[in-house]
Amino acid sequence: TDKAESFGISREEACHNLVFVAGFNAFGGFSRWFPSFIKWVASAGESLHRELAEEIRTTVKSEGGVTLNAINKMALTKSVVYEVLRIEPPIPYQYGRVKKDLVVQSHDAAFKIKKGEMIFGYQPFATKDGKIFDDPDEKFVGNRFVGEEGEKLLKYVLWLNGRGTDEPRVDNKQCPGKNLVELLLRVFLVEFFLLYDTFSVETGNLLSNTIVTFLSLKKASSI
């Protein structure tokens, strides 16, 4: 906002623009990817749903409501969000023109790329790396990122033009809606499992989009 004022833009207008940038990017991700999020959480089954409901309801009760502090204490809820981001990154394709000669390395090979060449990346190659993640392909592991060892794996979740542990900055071209997307997905899980114990869905595809139809919703046995 200080920089905006130096260009003759009021602080209020600058703040509105910042909110718009974050909201617009988050909306693009949600409208395309949110049904996929529901699909994967549903596929995890009733056992994980019970664990989520227990964590969410216990934490909300002890914290006196749905607060940011309460949400940040929900380790399993956070892990579930990251597991969906890992197994199906919202924007799997990345590309850009190389600004200087560089070497891209994998576990067992290295590739020289020259300045001016176009480079293309497919994020699931990294997020489903069997040398990093156990059962990486189509198995949804809701508690994959719980605990000290699980937290260490977060840096390998590439879903927004960078690592899951990085923050969006001017120089890294990460999605400015990153934190908003993660927070709202966690808020959705919290609000949903305060109301319901479990659910099931039927999924389909329309072009490249996931279509979700709810088949059952079991109301919360305890709140």
pLDDT in tens, 39-50: 999 999 999 999
Is residue 96 within 8 A of residue 102, CB to CB? The reply is no
Q: Mean of the pLDDT values across residues 103-113? A: 92
Break the chain into its structural domains and give their ranges: 11-91+128-219, 92-122
Express each pLDDT in 127-178 by its tens digit.
999 999 998 987 899 999 999 999 999 999 988 778 888 888 877 878 777 8
Query: Alpha helices of the chain — where are they, by DSSP H?
Result: 2-6, 11-43, 46-63, 68-72, 75-87, 124-127, 147-152, 178-195
Residues 6 or more apart from 78 whose CB is under 8 A from it? 145, 186
Mean pLDDT, rounded, for 72-91? 94
Is residue 71 within 8 Å of 186, Cβ to Cβ? Answer: yes
- Residue from 132, 131, 160, 158 nearest 144 by CA: 132
Which pTM does this prediction carry? Answer: 0.85
Is the separation of the CB atoms in 89 and 36 below 8 Å? no
Name beta bridge partners: 203.
Answer: 212
Q: Return the beta strands (E) in 66-139 as ranges.
A: 93-97, 102-105, 110-113, 118-122
Give the model's pLDDT for residue 52: 98
Cβ-contact 172, 194 below 8 angstroms: no
Superfamily (CATH H level) for 11-91+128-219: Cytochrome P450 (1.10.630.10)
